Chains A and B, each alone.
Chain A
Amino acid sequence: MEAVSNPNIVENVNLLLAVLIPLFGSLVVMNLKNNPNLREFVSSCSSILLFIIVLSFIPSLKEGKILQYEVFSLLPGLSVTLRADGFSMIFALVASSLWTIAVFYSMGYMRAHDEPCQTRFNACFALAIFGAIGVALSDNLFTMYLFYEIVSVCTYPLVAHHQDEESYSGARKYIIYLTSTAKFFLLPAIVLIYVLTGTLDFPHNILTGIIPSDAKSWVVILLYVFCIFGFAKNGVMPFHHWLPGAMVAPTPVSALLHAVAVVKVGVFCTTRTMLYVFGLDTMNALNLGIPTAYFVGFTIIAASIIALSKDNLKARLAYSTVSQLSYIIMGVALLTPHAIDGGLIHIVNHAFSKITLFFCAGAIYIAAHKKYISEMSGLGRTMPFTFGAFAIASLSMIGAPPVAGFVTKWNLLVGSMEAHQVGILLILIASTVLNVGYFAPVTYKAFFGKRPEGEPETGIKEAPLSMLIPILIAVTISVIIGIFPGFMMQFVQMVTG
């Protein structure tokens, strides 16, 4: 309906292409079981192609246009439609660019580690990106839900990759948490929103939402709560257990999926729903923002404390992710311009920094076969690049200038003051201290700690270049977007106006 009235909406078939590239990439990969080199070539080509297509949307967006493409029309107000606006670009750019980097990294990791079933791995990897890009480019709640579920199902084989007891139990937890929350909370929420409004299409501003103003307030609050918990990929407690459980997956999976694609799908959906389904007006009218901020504040602090207690590096990173994801929701929930900016830009900042950290964890595992932080003493001296990158990325997590995380923290702090919430300010400060608490010792021990007694001096060197280069690229980008946040900020500002 709006498409007719709004001259800024342009139909663009490239949106469909963006979604289809990873899908077809995956189909081709499935049939290249006997030719690993060609298979990896196809993966990398599709990732680069996808990145280029996503970049090609930027000029039109800068002209103030919004791209849209209807793929299937199911019922009145219920369709599979794609859209590119500022908000979708934030995530689409992150997912597509990091897929490119991750493809190269996983090639190195999987081959160095001689993992089984690499074809299945590559195919499902591409399918997961198919889902993530679909979520990023979705124009309505139904399309988003569709791709959200595709991500859940397609990542199961990645988590269960090793096919042993541990990975089956991790994967079981993963799929149970994600599908049951989606069915239990999201499905009724979506149906009820459709019944209330007759449409599921997102509006083109963050103020109005689609919930009619005369809807009963208890129903709206119920819907809101359902949407927060329904997108359990956002890692908000108490439905966060799937994330540490999923760490049994090979590290490239943890890196791309559990620092970028899967978890960001969760927060992206949550924030998209908060801003575009409920809208600032409804959120303000029903006073939903501040309680949400405090609620996720609990996750920030609790997950950080749990992270402190973990000796397994990947587990520590997982809990750090749980905590950092809530920053994004908290920022949006504060409902002030700076806070929303800070929250949304953290989708980007956290992605680049956290993927670096996971990449490093994988490199350490491949080079030194070490998973536990306590075993890593002195390792920094033999693997200076890996641990150097780790140090920089953890500074970003902590929020120190000039790395990306600083931009987030600055905006969030300003935003919380705008909202006059001293409590939130204290949560942010406490969380920063905790971040230092669990990240600093890793770097410190690696560079200045003593090598464990009796361990031979030689034998450990840096991970292969195909892993090291992606690490360095990711960490460099983390620094660049810390010093020049403008490029990504422009999309965030398209959202907040």
Chain B
Amino acid sequence: MDVLANLNGGFPLLSFLIFFPLAGSLVLFVYPKETFAKYWTLAVTIITALMSLGLLFGFDRTSTKYQFAELHTWIPQFNINYVVGVDGISILLVILTTFIMPFCVLASWKYISKRVTAFMFCLLIMETSMVGVFVALDFILFYVLWEFMLIPMYLLIAIWGGPRKVYASIKFFLYTLAGSVLLLVAIIALYMKNGSFFIPDMMWNEYSMVFQVLVFLAFFLAFAIKVPMFPVHTWLPAAHVEAPTAGSVILASILLKMGTYGMLRFCLPITPDASLLLAPYILWLSIAGIIYGGFTALAQHDMKKLIAYSSVGHMGFVTLGIFVFNAQGIQGAIMQMINHGVTTGALFLCVGMIYERTHSRELRLATGVGKFMPWYVTFLVFFCLSSFGFPGTNSFIGEFLVLAGTFRENEILALAAIPGAVLAAAYMLRMLQKIVWGGTDNPDQSYLTDLNIREIVTLAPFLLFVFWIGLGPEPFMNLMDASVQQLVDQLGQWQQHQHVATLLLP
């Protein structure tokens, strides 16, 4: 347990972040009035967000250990513990989660009109499980939260979703569940080998190649569905389209990141040989996803679908960065995860705002609003530019680092990803042009009202982060540097060690 820094010392901040929203949700049982529920949920999520800033202040940027660690015995018979901690890979994701949530509440203020209390309840327990997934260091704890998350998400789509909500929610549930079952098998297999569910104990151990490949594939399928990687992405457009705005934002900004987080946290350190062996296939699968997502997004007439397919492309860049196994690639991947959370979350909020006015997600019906909603399109312009990696915005840094890492690894691979960047510009500018300008036969949009204060307050922080990360990424990079470097170093040593081992074989 020497990987845990400052164990059980001081205020249990991570437990607070996990359980405070849960405790908040219980209050809604006692006092389920709708207006109260809105304000209460907003307050709870804001407090959680502000408290999560404590992570930044106390985080030792030079350490590679899991910090703010807490360890409590849970089920001693099976050596299952409640262990949580953050390192450079997860800290940004935790803060992203806590900061996205208040905006999800704000975005649902008017959008959700029925069963408001239940909706807010779902949001709060969603937050509990999402934060939990990112900080859990015990495999059972991780798995429980990972699975638990499906229920509120399923409800968000199935109750408050659009016309095809039943289809979309069941598809979402089945896909993710299918992946998770194999994940459980892998976890038990690893427990059999190690006698422990403590995740760091399972890393960098000598497992046989066959075992590694099998475990890797089980992991990978679960995570690839979550990311979602081409070709197991088909649940995503359906879920995004039908989910309410807050649901789409949570899906895009946080849920998708769990897949790539899982790959970084589990696939690479637990099954390094299998990762190295299978990396070329995954890299080309990522390229396929980048290109496929781009082309499909270009053909969409539904704004939410367009952004959903763009996510497939963007997340392709993340997996590309992870599996080139160098520091730049992985830093780029983590940055891209955060950036995608910020930008795509904001884009879904923007689409939601149009939907609240026109009651349609059709691009055709949203053309030419620039004249009547100047504030709205100002925000939209920056988020669209950010989405296709305009220099000076957040996504550029992520894409730049991923491409730089890929060029180091393999020039052909990097060049193959470039058409994806071109396509991203094409579909985003197409959408932007249509919404802002349209053509000569725009529908009458003169009834539209520009953003109100609540909406501006919702979007402005996203814009701040678009430029902050885009022009001064250093504070964000510093958080992850040590952990990423350690991961890459260990991977390098492992590779060398294996190489020596093969040479020594008779």
* Chain A residues in the interface with B (C-beta under 8 A): 72-75, 78, 80, 142, 145-146, 149, 153, 156, 160, 163-165, 168, 172, 175-176, 179-180, 183-184, 187-188, 191-192, 194-195, 219
Stretch with Cβ within 8 A of A (4 or more), from B23-31, B174-182, B187-195, B403-411: B403-411
A74-B390 CB under 8 A given contacts A163-B437, A175-B429: no
Q: Which residue of A lies closest to B401 (CB)?
A: A75
How distant is B37 from chain A, measured CB to nearest CB, in Å? Answer: 40
A194-B391 CB under 8 A given contacts A75-B477, A176-B426, A183-B422: no
Collect the chain B residues with CB atoms within 8 Å of residue A80's CB: 392, 471
How distant is B266 from chain A, measured CB to nearest CB, in Å? Answer: 28
A153-B404 CB under 8 A given contacts A75-B397, A168-B440: no
**Is B421 located at the chain interface by the 8 A CB criterion?**
yes
Task: For the A-B complex with A72-B471, A146-B392, A183-B418 known, give 18 more contacts whose Cβ atoms are closer than 8 Å.
Answer: A73-B472, A75-B401, A75-B477, A80-B392, A80-B471, A142-B391, A168-B439, A175-B433, A179-B429, A183-B388, A183-B424, A184-B419, A184-B422, A188-B414, A191-B400, A192-B411, A192-B414, A195-B408
Collect the chain B residues with CB atoms within 8 Å of residue A149's CB: 390-391
**Is B473 located at the chain interface by the 8 A CB criterion?**
yes
Interface class of chain A by DSSP: helix
**Is B415 located at the chain interface by the 8 A CB criterion?**
yes
Q: Which residue of A lies closest to B424 (CB)?
A: A183
Which 6 residue pairs of A and B lie closest in terms of their CB atoms, listed nearest first?
A: A146-B391, A72-B471, A191-B403, A183-B422, A195-B407, A179-B425
A209 to B244, CA, bound (A): 53
Most buried by B among A75, A165, A168: A75
How distant is A186 from chain B, measured CB to nearest CB, in Å? Answer: 10
Contact among B414, B415, B425 with A183 in the assembled complex (CB-CB below 8 Å): B425
**Is B385 located at the chain interface by the 8 A CB criterion?**
yes
A195 to B329, CA, bound (A): 12
Collect the chain B residues with CB atoms within 8 Å of residue A142's CB: 391
B425 contacts A180, CB within 8 Å? yes
B392 contacts A73, CB within 8 Å? no
Collect the chain B residues with CB atoms within 8 Å of residue A153's CB: 385, 390
A188 to B422, CA, bound (A): 11
Collect the chain A residues with CB atoms within 8 Å of residue B477's CB: 75
A-B contact pairs, 28 of them (CB 8 A): A72-B472, A74-B397, A74-B471, A74-B473, A74-B474, A75-B401, A75-B477, A80-B392, A142-B391, A149-B390, A149-B391, A156-B433, A163-B440, A165-B440, A168-B437, A179-B429, A180-B425, A183-B424, A184-B422, A187-B389, A188-B407, A188-B414, A188-B415, A188-B418, A191-B407, A191-B414, A192-B407, A192-B411
Collect the chain A residues with CB atoms within 8 Å of residue B419's CB: 184
Q: Which residue of A lies closest to B469 (CB)?
A: A74
A73 contacts B422, CB within 8 Å? no
Contact among B392, B403, B474 with A187 in the assembled complex (CB-CB below 8 Å): B403
A408 to B105, CA, bound (A): 64
Q: Which residue of A lies closest to B472 (CB)?
A: A72
Contact among A168, A179, A191 with B404 in the assembled complex (CB-CB below 8 Å): A191
Collect the chain B residues with CB atoms within 8 Å of residue A156's CB: 433
A78 to B388, CA, bound (A): 19
A183-B421 CB under 8 A given contacts A73-B474, A74-B471: yes
A164 to B440, CA, bound (A): 6
Q: Which residue of B lies closest to A78 (CB)?
A: B400
B391 contacts A184, CB within 8 Å? no
A145 contacts B407, CB within 8 Å? no
How distant is B345 from chain A, measured CB to nearest CB, in Å? Answer: 22
Contact among A78, A160, A176, A188 with B437 in the assembled complex (CB-CB below 8 Å): A160
A345 to B391, CA, bound (A): 30
- Chain B residues touching A, range: 20 to 34
Collect the chain A residues with CB atoms within 8 Å of residue B401's CB: 75
Collect the chain B residues with CB atoms within 8 Å of residue A191's CB: 400, 403-404, 407, 414
Which residues of B, 217-243, contact A by the 8 Å Cβ criterion?
Answer: none
Q: Which residue of B lies closest to A194 (CB)?
A: B404
- Type the 1/0 row for B371-409, where 1 means its CB is closer than 8 Å to any CB of A: 000000000000001001111100001001101100110
Collect the chain A residues with CB atoms within 8 Å of residue B411's CB: 192, 219
How distant is A269 from chain B, measured CB to nearest CB, in Å? Answer: 13
A184 to B423, CA, bound (A): 10
How distant is B17 from chain A, measured CB to nearest CB, in Å? Answer: 30
Collect the chain B residues with CB atoms within 8 Å of residue A183's CB: 388, 418, 421-422, 424-425
How distant is A413 from chain B, measured CB to nearest CB, in Å? Answer: 39
A180 contacts B391, CB within 8 Å? no
Collect the chain B residues with CB atoms within 8 Å of residue A184's CB: 418-419, 421-422
Collect the chain B residues with CB atoms within 8 Å of residue A192's CB: 407, 411, 414
Most buried by A among B385, B392, B424, B474: B392
Collect the chain B residues with CB atoms within 8 Å of residue A73's CB: 472, 474
Collect the chain A residues with CB atoms within 8 Å of residue B404's CB: 191, 194-195
Collect the chain B residues with CB atoms within 8 Å of residue A75's CB: 397, 401, 473-474, 477
Collect the chain A residues with CB atoms within 8 Å of residue B400's CB: 78, 191, 194
How distant is B436 from chain A, measured CB to nearest CB, in Å? Answer: 9
Q: Which residue of A lies closest to B400 (CB)?
A: A191
Contact among B392, B403, B425, B472 with A188 in the assembled complex (CB-CB below 8 Å): B403
How distant is B413 from chain A, measured CB to nearest CB, in Å? Answer: 11
Collect the chain B residues with CB atoms within 8 Å of residue A172's CB: 433
Contact among A146, A163, A187, A219 with B418 in the assembled complex (CB-CB below 8 Å): A187
Collect the chain B residues with CB atoms within 8 Å of residue A146's CB: 391-392
A145 to B390, CA, bound (A): 10
Q: Which residue of A lies closest to B378 (CB)?
A: A30
A80 to B477, CA, bound (A): 17
A460 to B151, CA, bound (A): 77
Collect the chain A residues with CB atoms within 8 Å of residue B422's CB: 180, 183-184
How distant is A263 from chain B, measured CB to nearest CB, in Å? Answer: 21
How distant is A332 from chain B, measured CB to nearest CB, in Å? Answer: 25
A292 to B143, CA, bound (A): 60
Contact among A145, A163, A164, A175 with B391 in the assembled complex (CB-CB below 8 Å): A145
Q: Which residue of A lies closest to B415 (CB)?
A: A188
How distant is B416 from chain A, measured CB to nearest CB, in Å? Answer: 10
A180 contacts B437, CB within 8 Å? no
Q: Which residue of B lies closest to A168 (CB)?
A: B439
A74 to B401, CA, bound (A): 11
A74-B472 CB under 8 A given contacts A142-B391, A149-B391, A180-B425: yes
How distant is B197 from chain A, measured CB to nearest CB, in Å? Answer: 38
- Type the 1/0 row for B77-112, where 1 means its CB is closer than 8 Å to any CB of A: 000000000000000000000000000000000000
Which residues of B, 438-476, contact A by the 8 Å Cβ criterion?
Answer: 439-440, 471-474
How distant is B212 from chain A, measured CB to nearest CB, in Å? Answer: 31
Collect the chain A residues with CB atoms within 8 Å of residue B433's CB: 156, 172, 175
A190 to B203, CA, bound (A): 37
Collect the chain A residues with CB atoms within 8 Å of residue B421's CB: 183-184, 187
How distant is B246 from chain A, measured CB to nearest CB, in Å? Answer: 31
How distant is A22 from chain B, measured CB to nearest CB, in Å? Answer: 16
A153 to B393, CA, bound (A): 14
Collect the chain A residues with CB atoms within 8 Å of residue B429's CB: 175, 179
Collect the chain A residues with CB atoms within 8 Å of residue B392's CB: 80, 146
How distant is A218 from chain B, measured CB to nearest CB, in Å? Answer: 10
A187 to B404, CA, bound (A): 10
How distant is A195 from chain B, measured CB to nearest CB, in Å? Answer: 5
A378 to B362, CA, bound (A): 54
A183 to B418, CA, bound (A): 7
Collect the chain A residues with CB atoms within 8 Å of residue B439's CB: 165, 168
How distant is B193 from chain A, measured CB to nearest CB, in Å? Answer: 39
A145 to B391, CA, bound (A): 7
A75 to B472, CA, bound (A): 8
Collect the chain B residues with CB atoms within 8 Å of residue A168's CB: 437, 439-440
A180 contacts B426, CB within 8 Å? yes
A219 to B473, CA, bound (A): 29
How distant is A84 from chain B, measured CB to nearest CB, in Å? Answer: 21
Most buried by B among A180, A187, A219: A187
Collect the chain A residues with CB atoms within 8 Å of residue B391's CB: 142, 145-146, 149
A191 to B429, CA, bound (A): 23
